[in-house]
Amino acid sequence: MDVLLTTLKAVVDQLGATVLLPIVIFVIATVLGAKPSRAFRAGITIGVAFIGINLVVGLMWTSLSDVAQAIVTNTGIKRDVVDVGWPSAAAIAFGSSVGLWVIPVGIAVNVALLFTGLTRTLNVDVWNFWHFAFIGSLVTAATGSLAMGIGAAAIMAALALLFADWSAKGVQRFYGVPGVSVPHLASAQILPIAIVLNWIIDRIPGIRDIKIDTDTIQSRLGVFGEPVVLGLVIGLVLGLVGYWNPAAPAEMVVKVLKAGMNLAAVMVLLPRMVKILMEGLIPVSEAAREFVQKRAGSREINVGLDSAILIGHPAAISSALILVPIAILLSVILPGNRVILFADLAVIPFLVAMTAPVVNGNVFRMVIIGTITLAVGFYVATALAPLFTSAATAAGFALPKNAAQVTSIVDGFLWISWVTVEAVNRLGALGLGLLAVVVLGGIVAFTRNRAGWERLAGTETAEAAGE
């Protein structure tokens, strides 16, 4: 069994999402009854779309990382917990002992909840099971127990499905992605935070009346409010903040202009890549719906995908780019914070994208919610840094020079990670059992009052806004 799991983990790790996902899509679509030719074309199309998305995100990553490094250099910020980025966190997760088990465990949880009618999400995003493994590896590092780590990973797999089902209608309405849900744990975890903070904002006079969404910006600013121009302007502003150097004006201007054009390109290209992705997804969604209707009447099945399909929306990108300098400022001014951001600044769109349906694309509210979430995240990351570093060392990860400890925005900043570790540290196996009861109870409660929960997650926001 260990040999089989080791081989499976190695294959997943080597193939990566852009190769693995087309294979998974082809197999699932064929099993669900799609013609092999349609399933094959769908898999390739989705793979191509994700390659395109990754290329554009890579462009954004490079631009923001360069700007962040310049800001850090200019301000002289020094911290002993270094953000090593999500690729490092994924490598740590899949390299851990829990990573060996996470794929069969994640699939088993999904199948069990599907057949019992407790989820409507078919999670094909196998690559992102690493999020479950990562939290499991923290639990293993805290307790020394592989069994508890695997148990934590299984609970996270179930929790991701709950968040995916809860947000599905809102995501489909706002982002225009029918038949899709998002079980990406790092993105979905902001959902309850967004619901609570949005409720609070609704009760603050003056603040509750501020509406700044991309449609409003475009209608008031004309051409300057279009996504491509908005990306250019935000890029120029970030570039000026990072590269300001009157002593070398020519070099400064070149870098600022490049930052502006790169982020303008991101605003245009990401939505195009998502459209290609949706083209490939249509045959899979149709096959899943027909398969389920034949066996379970009218029950819907949504295809669970990476939150990368959401970040192409102007509201997600705009709010995230505004949050970049805010995040760097927070790392400077928050008392007791030991984390310096660097590699993961480009993932902020993934963290805030799920708030858009809740606030109906109000960028102002997305920035407020994102700021508070990041502020809490710094303290979570500081608290979890020793375990994060222990898990990294156990997985054979080489620590950067001058870094006493390491973290990442994904998944080191997540409240879910902290709650899970705290429950285990304080109560041991009982804490893990209580988490399982809470998650399963949440799933059952959602199933019994689906409409009520969905309203909280943004299914009726458009109607309430008079759209």
Which pLDDT tens digit goes with each residue over 200-220? 999 999 999 998 877 766 666
pLDDT above 90 (res 368):
yes
Q: What's the average model confidence in pLDDT over 249-258?
A: 87
pLDDT above 80 (res 73):
no
Lowest mean pLDDT among 100-109, 227-236, 288-297, 409-418: 288-297
Lowest mean pLDDT among 8-22, 90-104, 132-146, 226-240: 8-22
Lowest mean pLDDT among 34-48, 268-282, 305-319: 268-282
Nearest 10 degrees: Cα torsion 266, 169, 300, 154: 80
Domain, as residue range, for 139: 2-464
Residue 381 is predicted with a pLDDT of 93
Q: Look at the block and give the residue holding tokens 């631009």.
A: 63
Residue 343 is predicted with a pLDDT of 67
* Mean of the per-residue pLDDT values of the chain: 83
CA atoms within 13 A on the CB side of 465: 19
Residue 1 is predicted with a pLDDT of 55
Which of 4-18, 96-110, 121-135, 415-429 ranks highest by mean pLDDT? 415-429
The Cβ of residue 27 has, within 10 Å, a number of other Cβ atoms equal to 13
Residue 467 is predicted with a pLDDT of 39
pLDDT above 70 (res 180):
yes
Q: What's the average model confidence in pLDDT over 362-388?
A: 93
State the pLDDT confidence band at 391, using cuts at 50, 70 and 90. confident
Let me know how long the chain is. 467
Residue 463 is predicted with a pLDDT of 43
DSSP string, 365-410: HHHHHHHHHHHHHHHHHHHHHHHHHHHHHHTTPPPPTT-SEEE-HH
Residue 162 is predicted with a pLDDT of 96
- pLDDT tens-place string over residues 300-318: 888 888 888 888 788 888 8
State the pLDDT confidence band at 157, using cuts at 50, 70 and 90. very high
State the pLDDT confidence band at 196, using cuts at 50, 70 and 90. very high
State the pLDDT confidence band at 366, using cuts at 50, 70 and 90. very high
DSSP letter at 340? E
Residue 124 vs residue 357, higher pLDDT = 357
Please check whether residue 81 is in contact with residue 331, taking contact to mean a CB–CB distance below 8 angstroms: no
Q: What's the average model confidence in pLDDT over 220-226?
A: 60
Please check whether residue 120 is in contact with residue 168, taking contact to mean a CB–CB distance below 8 angstroms: yes
DSSP string, 19-86: HHHHHHHHHHHHHTT--HHHHHHHHHHHHHHHHHHHHHHHHHHHHHHHHHHHHHHHHT---SEEE--H
Residue 287 is predicted with a pLDDT of 76
Residue 464 is predicted with a pLDDT of 42
Distance CA(315)–CA(364), nearest Å, equals 10
Lowest mean pLDDT among 82-86, 170-174, 367-371, 461-465: 461-465
State the pLDDT confidence band at 465, using cuts at 50, 70 and 90. very low
Angle at which helices 314-333 and 36-75 pack, to 10 degrees?
30
State the pLDDT confidence band at 453, using cuts at 50, 70 and 90. very high
- pLDDT tens-place string over residues 326-347: 888 898 889 999 888 766 777 8
- H/E element holding 121? strand 121-123
Total domains present in the chain: 1
Residue 162 vs residue 301, higher pLDDT = 162
CA torsion through residues 111, 113, 117, 120, sign: negative
| Strand blocks (E) in 172-246 | 180-181
- Is the whole model's pTM more than 0.85, yes or no? no
